[in-house]
Structure 1
């Protein structure tokens, strides 16, 4: 249970970092930010499948 909580908190922190990068990008890098967000979403789905 502790390990699962640790994994969840780690996932949340990774998601916050990815979201921060996505929100912090300028308009010229918006497409790159969307790619980053999509790749992080795929990573999150894989990580949740392994829980």
Structure 2
């Protein structure tokens, strides 16, 4: 079976991910000081980090 062209990574420019992992969101919010250290539930929305 062949691989669909959209799944190939090759030497193409990497796109911006539109979803962040939970630990990435917590790291961004803590760095910005938007949540206390002990709070991990009810996280506010964040903009994706450009890679």
Q: Work out whether the TM-score is over 0.5.
A: no
Bigger RCO of structures 1 and 2 (CA < 8 A, at least 6 apart): 2
Structure whose CA Rg is larger: 2
Judging by fraction of residues, say which structure has more helix. 1
TM-score, structure 1 normalization: 0.28
